[in-house]
Structure 1
Amino acid sequence: MAANSRTTARKTATRPVRTVREAAPAEAEVREDTGLSPADAQEIEAEGHYLSADLCGEELDIVPSGAWRQTTMRKLNNNQMDAFMEDVLSPESYELYLELDPTNAELGDFISAASETSGEPVGKSGGPSRSSRRTRRR
C-alpha cells in the first residue's frame, strides 16, 4: 500500500500556535465632508426617519441614501426623476416637489445635500485604481 499524508510521519516543523489578539477599540472617525462619524450615520439610517434637505429654498424630507432600494436606484439611473422622487420623499414633500418643478441642477444639488446629511455619498464608487506599473513589452 502506498504512503499518503495521513499515514506518513511529518518531516516539517509544526507551526507555532497562533494567539488571538484583541482588536484595539476603534476610534470614531469623523468624515470631513459630512461631519458625521460612521456610527452616527448608521444610527440616522437605522432610525428610519426622514432627513431634511433644501430644494429651491424649501425643506423637503427624504429617506437616507443608504436605505434606498435597488428598484429606486434603477429609476435614478434611468433618469425617471419623478418616480425616483416619489420613492424617496415623504408624501407631503413629493407634492411640494411637484409644485416646485426644479431644474436638473437644482435637483442634483438637492440629492448631494441629502447624501451629505446622511453621511453616505451617492454615485459611482471609485473602484480599484490602476497599477502604476506598465506591462512589460516583449
Structure 2
Amino acid sequence: MTDMTPAEAQETEATEEYGTATLSGVDLRIKPGNRWRPSYLRALREGDYDTWAAGVLHKDDVAVFIDLDPTFDEINVFTTAAMGSTGEAPGKSGGRTKSSTRTRKR
C-alpha cells in the first residue's frame, strides 16, 4: 500500500459522507449507520465506546469524544441524533423479520 499525498488524503476525506450530532455542546462528525461495520455495532453494544468511536467518528473527532468522557445517557442521545442526521432510523435493522403467521405443514 502506498502513502497518499496530502492532496489525495484531503480529496478522499472530502468525498466521505458524515452526519453531525452534538455531544456535550460539541459537534462531532459520524459515518452513516449503513457504513458501520458489525464490529463497531458489537463494540457499541458491549460498551467499548473508544473502539466504537474510532470506527464511526471522523478521525479528528475520536480524541474529542474520548476527552468529553460522556455518560451512558449522553452517548444514547448522541447516537440517536447521529443516526437521525445521517438518515438512519434508530433501532431499525436491515435484517428480515419473522412472519407472525404460522405456516401449516401438509
Q: Do they fold alike, i.e. is TM over 0.5?
A: yes
The structure in which a higher percent of residues are helix is: 2
State the 1:129 CA deviation.
Answer: 6.5
Q: 1:57 aligns to what?
A: 25
2:97 corresponds, among 113, 127, 136, to 127
Q: Which has the larger radius of gyration?
A: 1
Deviations along 1:57-82, whole A, 9 cap, x unmatched? Answer: 10001111111011211212222111
Identity level (%): 33
- AA aligned to 1:127 is T
Deviations along 1:14-66, whole A, 9 cap, x unmatched? Answer: xxxxxxxxxxxxxxxxxxxxxxxxxxxxxxxxx53111110011000111111
Q: 1:101 aligns to what?
A: 69
- Tell me which of the two structures has the higher relative contact order, counting C-alpha pairs closer than 8 angstroms and 6 or more residues apart: 2
State the 1:122 CA deviation.
Answer: 3.3
Following the alignment from structure 1 to structure 2, what is the Cα–Cα distance between the partners of residues 51 and 124? 18
- Mind listing any 5+ residue stretches in structure 1 that lack a counterpart? 1-46, 132-138
> Hey, which bits of structure 1, 4+ residues long, moved more than 2 A?
122-131
Following the alignment from structure 1 to structure 2, what is the Cα–Cα distance between the partners of residues 64 and 100? 22
Q: What is the TM-score normalised by the length of structure 1?
A: 0.55
- Mind listing any 5+ residue stretches in structure 2 that lack a counterpart? 1-14, 102-106
State the Cα RMSD in Å.
2.1
